[in-house]
C-alpha cells in the first residue's frame, strides 16, 4: 500500500504531499507517522491510502513508524483542511497543526503514566505470616495498606511508607506493579455549582425554536437575558440524542463561573480548552475528546477544531467578538469553520450576542440565519440607564481631570451604599505615549515605528508590538528639554488616582499587564466576585460576559477611544463595547447606572446605545456600509508583504501590485485597489507593505487569483500573507 503524507516542517516552502510505502494494513488516513525526509526523520500525517503510485518504485521510501494508537485527525478534519487551504490561502501543514495540540507534535508531551501496585493473587488468600516475618514491621505495614486498598499508586505509598519495604515486596513478587495512565483534567477538584432554573417563557420559546429547527441561528438577546441557559439546553438536547457539542466563548469570558456551571450540568463529559492550561492538561483534554470519553468541548477560538465526532450542535457565544478572527498565521474566521463543521455534521450552529456583528445581523435579515430574539432580562430588570457626560464642558468648568463630577459623585454614592463599581478604559499601560513639550518629539520603537508606552510600575517604555523595552526619558534626546509629557492616561494611572480618592477602598486592576500569569484573570475576577474589592478598573477584558450581582455602577472613562480609529468597524466596535460594559450593571435585584464620558456627545453611536436601540444602530450602520462599499457588501482583501530586506519587499510589492492591477482591468469584482507601506512600517525588523483591495462580496474566483499572485510574489526572502476582512490594517 502507498500512504500520502503531509510532512510537518515549519518555515519551509514544502507544502506538498509525498508518497511513502506503507507496510501495515491497519493504518488509514489521519494517522500521525514518522517518515524519512532527506537525511532526517520527520513527523507527518497520512492524508490518504492508495494502491499505486506514479513515483518510481525503487526511490519510494517506507514509513518509519506510526506514532499513535488511533488516527489523530478525523476524516472530517481532513476535508476541513482542504477547505481551509483553498479558501484562506493556507498551507496544508499549517492547517493540520491547528487540529492537534502543539505540545503533542514532536512527542514533547507524553501521556502521564503512573505505577500502581496490588497484591499478587497468589498471595491474596494466604496468611501474611507465611511470607512476611513479623519483625519486618515496615513491610507488614505497607502490605496491609495495599491489601486493604486494592490498587494503590506507588508515589502515594512512597510518601507514607518505607520505599525499600515496598521494593522488597515487589522483588519477591508479593505485590505486582502495573502501569496505568492518569488523565490531567484541569480544575478536576473545582467545586461544581449551579442550580436548576425554570426557563422564562422567552427562554423556553427560543430553546424550542433552535432545538426543533435546522440551520444557523442568530440568538440576539439583551445582556442578562439568560443566553447561557439556552446554550446549555441545546447541548443537553444534543447529548440526549447521543451526539457531541462544541461551545466557544471569548478566551476572557471563560471564567470559573462558566466552568463551574458546565461541570455541574455535564460533569466529566466536559473538556476545557483554553490558553491557561498546562501542556499536559491540554494534551489529556484533547485525548479525552478524540477517544469519546468527553463529548462537550468548551473553549476559546481554537476549540472549534475539537476532535469530536458526530456533532449535535456548535455554539459561538459573544459571536461579535473580534477574538474569533485569528490574527496570527494561520489566519482563519471561526464562524466559517463552524459553518463547515455544522454542515458536515448536519447540525445546528447557534451564534449568540447582545450586540451581533453587523455582518451576522445582515445575514439574518437576508434569511441566511434564523433570528431568535430575547428582549428582556431574566429578572425583568430594566437595562441600566446611561448618562452621557460632555467632557468638553467639564474642562471649561475647570475640571481637567479624567473623572467628571457626575462620575465621582455616582462612585461615592455606590461605595457608600456598599455596592461595587466597574470603571472601563480602553487602554493599557500608564500613558499611551511620551512626548517632548518643547519640540514635539515622540518616543518610538527602533524596530516597529510605533509610539512607546510608559509603564510606571517598572519605569520603562515598552513597545506593544515587539515587547522591546527602553529606559524612561529624563530629557528629550532631540532638544535636551526636561519637559517630558505623558500623553493619555491608562488603567494604571486611574487605579492610582482612585486609591487617592478612596483610601479605604480596595481597587482591582485588570488589563494585559495584570493578567500575564496562568489563571491571573481568574484570580482577579474571583476576588471581585468575593467582594474583596469595591472597584474594578480595566480594559476590554472586563466588558465581556461577567455576571456580578452587586455591580450597580459602570463608568466609561473615555468612550471615544475606539471611535476614532481609522477602521470601518469603529462605530460598531464602540456600540458593542458600550452595550457590553453597560450590561455589567444592575444584573441582579439592584438597578444599575452607567456614566459615559465623551468629547463627542452627539455621535449617533451614543444616541442608539443610550436608547438600547440595536436595530436603529444597525439600520444606520448598514446603510453607511452600503454607500461606502464596506463589508458585508464587499470583502477587504489585504496581501501583506514582509521582509527584513527592504528592497526585496519593495520589488515583491511592485510585482504583486502590477499583477493585481492587471487582474482588476475589466473585472468588475474590484471596488478599490491600493498599494502602500503598512501603517506600521516595520515590526520586529520586518518591513511591511501591502496591497489592499475591496472585492464585491462572494467574488471567490477573483480571491483565488489573488492568492496565486501572492504565491508567485513570495520568495525565500519575502512572505506574502493574504487576509480577508482583518480586524485592523496596521
Ligand atoms: P446573558 O449571557 O444573556 O447576558 P446570562 O446567561 O449570564 O445572561 O444570565 C444572567 C443571569 O441570569 C445568570 O446569573 C443566570 O444564572 C441567571 N438565569 C438565567 N436564566 C434564568 C432563569 N430562567 N431563572 C433565573 N435565573 C436565570
Ligand atoms: Zn524635545
Ligand atoms: Zn517594537
Q: Contact at 8 Å (CB) between 652 and 720?
A: yes
> How much distance in Å is there from the Cα of 398 to the middle of ligand 2?
29
Element (H, E) at 153: strand 152-153
Mean pLDDT value of segment 409-435: 81
DSSP codes of every residue in 662-719: HHHTT-TTEEEEEEEEEEEEEETTEEEEEEEEEEETT-HHHHHHHHHHHHHH--SS-E
Cα 413 from Cα 388, distance rounded (Å): 18
> How much distance in Å is there from the Cα of 564 to the middle of ligand 2?
27
> How much distance in Å is there from the Cα of 247 to the middle of ligand 1?
17
173 dihedral zone (left: phi>0; alpha: psi -120 to 50; beta): left
Set of cell numbers at residue 422: 466597574
Query: What is the pLDDT confidence band of residue 53, given thresholds at 50, 70 and 90?
Result: confident
Give 430's DSSP letter: S
| pLDDT exceeds 90 at position 236 | yes
Higher confidence at residue 23 or residue 196? Answer: 23
* Residue 116, CB-side half-sphere exposure with 13 Å CA sphere: 13
Nearest CA to ligand 1 atom 13: 226
Q: What is the pTM of this model?
A: 0.81
336 lines ligand 1 (CB under 6 A): no
Q: Contact at 8 Å (CB) between 424 and 555?
A: yes
Ligand nearest to the CA of 484: 2
Give 184's DSSP letter: -
Atom of ligand 1 nearest to the CA of 549: 14
Q: What share of the chain is helix, strand, coil (3-state, %, to 5)?
A: 35, 25, 40
665 lines ligand 1 (CB under 6 A): no
Q: Contact at 8 Å (CB) between 673 and 696?
A: no
What phi and psi values does residue 106 have, to the nearest 5 degrees? 75, 10
Higher confidence at residue 666 or residue 78? Answer: 78
194 lines ligand 1 (CB under 6 A): no
Q: Contact at 8 Å (CB) between 586 and 223?
A: no
Ligand nearest to the CA of 201: 1
CA neighbor of 246 nearest in space, from 76, 28, 70 = 76
* Measured CA angle at 69 (ends 67, 71), to 5 deg: 80
Q: Which residues pair with 448 in a beta bridge?
A: none
CA neighbor of 422 nearest in space, from 600, 609, 579, 595 = 595
Query: What is the pLDDT confidence band of residue 197, given thresholds at 50, 70 and 90?
Result: confident
Q: Contact at 8 Å (CB) between 605 and 571?
A: yes
Query: What is the pLDDT confidence band of residue 316, given thresholds at 50, 70 and 90?
Result: very high
3-state secondary structure 276-304: CCCHHHHHHHHHHHHCCCCCEEEECHHHH
> How much distance in Å is there from the Cα of 568 to the middle of ligand 3?
26
Mean pLDDT value of segment 20-25: 87
pLDDT for residue 419: 94
Cis peptide before 575 (omega within 30 of 0): no
Q: Contact at 8 Å (CB) between 725 and 324?
A: no
CA neighbor of 587 nearest in space, from 557, 546, 556 = 546
226 lines ligand 1 (CB under 6 A): yes
pLDDT for residue 448: 60
671 lines ligand 1 (CB under 6 A): no
Edge-to-edge order in the sheet of strand 17-21: 17-21, 2-7, 40-50, 32-37, 65-66
pLDDT for residue 673: 87
Probe target for ligand 1 pocket from 226, 254, 579, with the most ligand atoms within 8 Å of CB: 226
Cis peptide before 377 (omega within 30 of 0): no
Cα 376 from Cα 268, distance rounded (Å): 33
550 lines ligand 1 (CB under 6 A): no
| pLDDT exceeds 50 at position 532 | yes
Query: Which of 137-141, 245-249, 445-449: highest mean pLDDT?
Result: 245-249
Probe target for ligand 1 pocket from 206, 229, 258, 380, with the most ligand atoms within 8 Å of CB: 229
> How much distance in Å is there from the Cα of 588 to the middle of ligand 1?
10
Cα 577 from Cα 609, distance rounded (Å): 10
Set of cell numbers at residue 54: 506514479
> How do 686-696 and 719-724 pair as beta strands?
unpaired
Q: Contact at 8 Å (CB) between 644 and 685?
A: yes
| pLDDT exceeds 80 at position 328 | no
Nearest CA to ligand 1 atom 19: 226
Cα 68 from Cα 29, distance rounded (Å): 13
Query: What is the pLDDT confidence band of residue 430, given thresholds at 50, 70 and 90?
Result: very low
DSSP codes of every residue in 296-353: EEEESGGGGG---SSEEEEEETTTT-GGGB--SSSP-BHHHHHHHHHHHHT-EEEEEE
What phi and psi values does residue 151 have, to the nearest 5 degrees? -105, 125
Element (H, E) at 34: strand 32-37
DSSP codes of every residue in 573-591: HHHHHHHHHHTTSS-SSS-
Q: Give exposure, 641-656, as e/b (b: 16+ Cβ within 10 Å).
A: bbbeeeebbbbbbebb
pLDDT for residue 187: 65
Q: Which residues contact 422 (CB under 8 A, 6 or more apart)?
A: 535, 536, 537, 538, 542, 548, 551, 553, 554, 555, 581, 584, 585
199 lines ligand 1 (CB under 6 A): yes
> How much distance in Å is there from the Cα of 484 to the middle of ligand 2?
8
259-293 tens-digit pLDDT: 788 888 898 899 988 777 778 888 888 989 999 99
568-627 tens-digit pLDDT: 787 898 899 899 888 888 877 788 899 999 877 888 999 999 999 999 999 999 998 898
492 lines ligand 1 (CB under 6 A): no
Cα 100 from Cα 105, distance rounded (Å): 7
Q: Contact at 8 Å (CB) between 372 and 220?
A: yes
> How much distance in Å is there from the Cα of 719 to the middle of ligand 3?
19
93-141 tens-digit pLDDT: 889 889 987 766 666 556 677 788 888 888 878 888 888 888 888 888 8
pLDDT for residue 629: 85
Cα 386 from Cα 593, distance rounded (Å): 6
* Residue 367, CB-side half-sphere exposure with 13 Å CA sphere: 0
Chain-centre distance for alpha carbon 618? 26
| pLDDT exceeds 80 at position 689 | yes
Q: Where are the beta strands (DSSP E) in 317-467?
A: 348-353, 370-374, 385-390, 420-424, 434-436, 453-455, 460-462
| pLDDT exceeds 60 at position 82 | yes
Ligand nearest to the CA of 465: 3
Q: Contact at 8 Å (CB) between 6 and 44?
A: yes
Set of cell numbers at residue 417: 451604599
Amino acid at each position: 500500500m502507498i500512504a500520502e503524507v503531509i510532512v510537518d516542517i515549519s518555515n519551509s516552502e514544502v507544502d506538498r504531499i509525498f508518497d511513502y510505502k506503507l507496510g501495515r494494513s491497519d493504518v488509514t488516513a489521519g494517522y500521525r507517522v514518522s517518515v524519512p525526509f532527506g537525511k532526517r526523520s520527520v513527523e507527518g500525517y497520512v492524508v490518504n491510502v492508495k494502491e499505486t503510485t506514479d513515483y518510481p518504485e525503487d526511490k519510494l521510501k517506507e514509513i518509519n513508524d506510526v506514532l499513535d494508537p488511533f488516527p489523530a485527525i478525523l476524516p472530517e478534519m481532513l476535508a476541513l483542511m482542504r477547505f481551509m487551504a483553498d479558501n484562506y490561502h493556507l498551507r496544508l501543514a499549517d492547517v493540520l497543526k491547528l487540529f492537534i495540540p502543539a505540545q503533542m507534535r514532536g512527542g514533547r508531551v507524553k501521556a502521564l503514566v503512573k505505577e500502581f501496585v496490588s497484591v499478587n493473587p497468589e498471595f491474596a488468600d494466604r496468611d501474611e505470616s507465611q511470607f512476611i516475618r513479623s519483625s519486618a514491621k515496615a513491610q507488614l505495614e505497607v502490605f496491609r495498606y495495599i491489601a486493604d486498598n486494592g490498587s494503590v499508586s506507588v508515589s502515594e505509598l512512597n510518601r507514607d511508607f518505607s520505599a525499600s519495604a515496598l521494593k522488597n515486596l515487589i522483588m519477591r513478587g508479593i505485590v505486582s506493579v502495573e502501569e496505568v495512565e492518569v488523565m490531567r483534567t484541569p480544575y478536576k477538584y473545582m467545586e461544581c455549582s449551579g442550580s436548576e432554573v425554570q426557563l422564562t417563557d422567552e427562554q423556553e420559546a427560543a430553546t424550542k425554536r433552535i432545538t426543533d429547527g435546522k440551520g444557523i441561528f442568530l440568538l440576539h438577546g439583551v445582556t442578562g437575558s439568560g443566553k447561557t441557559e439556552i446554550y446549555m439546553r441545546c447541548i443537553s438536547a444534543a447529548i440526549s440524542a447521543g451526539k457531541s457539542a462544541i461551545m466557544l466563548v471569548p478566551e476572557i469570558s471563560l471564567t470559573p463561573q462558566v466552568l463551574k456551571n458546565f461541570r455541574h450540568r455535564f460533569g466529566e463529559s466536559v473538556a476545557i480548552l483554553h490558553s491557561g492550561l498546562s501542556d499536559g492538561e491540554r494534551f489529556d483534554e484533547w485525548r479525552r475528546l478524540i477517544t469519546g470519553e468527553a463529548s462537550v468541548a468548551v473553549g476559546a477560538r481554537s476549540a472549534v477544531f475539537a476532535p469530536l465526532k458526530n456533532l449535535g450542535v456548535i455554539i459561538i457565544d459573544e459571536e461579535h467578538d473580534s477574538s474569533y478572527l485569528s490574527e496570527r498565521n494561520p489566519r482563519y474566521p471561526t464562524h466559517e469553520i463552524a459553518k463547515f463543521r455544522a454542515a458536515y455534521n448536519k447540525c445546528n450552529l447557534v451564534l449568540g450576542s447582545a450586540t451581533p456583528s453587523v455582518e451576522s445581523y445582515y445575514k439574518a435579515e437576508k434569511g441566511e440565519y434564523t433570528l431568535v430574539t430575547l428582549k428582556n432580562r431574566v429578572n425583568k430588570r430594566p437595562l441600566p440607564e446611561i448618562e452621557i457626560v460632555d467632557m468638553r464642558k467639564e474642562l471649561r468648568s475647570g475640571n481637567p481631570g479624567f473623572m467628571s463630577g457626575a462620575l465621582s459623585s455616582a462612585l461615592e454614592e455606590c461605595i457608600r451604599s456598599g455596592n461595587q463599581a466597574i470603571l472601563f478604559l480602553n487602554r493599557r499601560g500608564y500613558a499611551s505615549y511620551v512626548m517632548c513639550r518643547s519640540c514635539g518629539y515622540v518616543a518610538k520603537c527602533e524596530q516597529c515605528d510605533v509610539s512607546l508606552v510608559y509603564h510606571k510600575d517598572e519605569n520603562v517604555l515598552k513597545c506593544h508590538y515587539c515587547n522591546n523595552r527602553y529606559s524612561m526619558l529624563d530629557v528629550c534626546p532631540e532638544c535636551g528639554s526636561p519637559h517630558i509629557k505623558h500623553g493619555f492616561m491608562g488603567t494604571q494611572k486611574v487605579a492610582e488616582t482612585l486609591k487617592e480618592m478612596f483610601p479605604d477602598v480596595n481597587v482591582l486592576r485588570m488589563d494585559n499587564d495584570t493578567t500575564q500569569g496562568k489563571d491571573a484573570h481568574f484570580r482577579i475576577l474571583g476576588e471581585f466576585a468575593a467582594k474583596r474589592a469595591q472597584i474594578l478598573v480595566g480594559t476590554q477584558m472586563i466588558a465581556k460576559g461577567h455576571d456580578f450581582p452587586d455591580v450597580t455602577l459602570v463608568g466609561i472613562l473615555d468612550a471615544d477611544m475606539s471611535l476614532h480609529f481609522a477602521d470601518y468597524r469603529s462605530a460598531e466596535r464602540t456600540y458593542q463595547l458600550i452595550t457590553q460594559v453597560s450590561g455589567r450593571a444592575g444584573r441582579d435585584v439592584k438597578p444599575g447606572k452607567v456614566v459615559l464620558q465623551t468629547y463627542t456627545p452627539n455621535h449617533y453611536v451614543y444616541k442608539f446605545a443610550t436608547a438600547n436601540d440595536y436595530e436603529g444602530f444597525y439600520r444606520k450602520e448598514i446603510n453607511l456600509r452600503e454607500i461606502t462599499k464596506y463589508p458585508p457588501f464587499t470583502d477587504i482583501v489585504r496581501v501583506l508583504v514582509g521582509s527584513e530586506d527592504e528592497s526585496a519587499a519593495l520589488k515583491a510589492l511592485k510585482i504583486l501590485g502590477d499583477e493585481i492591477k492587471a487582474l482588476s482591468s475589466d473585472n468588475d469584482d474590484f471596488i478599490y485597489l491600493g498599494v502602500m507601506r503598512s501603517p506600521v512600517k516595520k515590526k520586529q525588523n520586518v518591513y511591511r507593505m501591502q496591497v489592499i483591495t475591496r472585492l464585491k462580496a462572494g467574488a471567490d474566483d477573483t480571491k483565488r487569483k489573488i492568492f496565486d499572485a501572492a504565491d508567485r510574489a513570495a520568495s525565500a526572502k519575502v512572505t506574502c500573507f493574504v487576509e480577508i476582512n482583518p480586524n485592523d490594517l496596521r
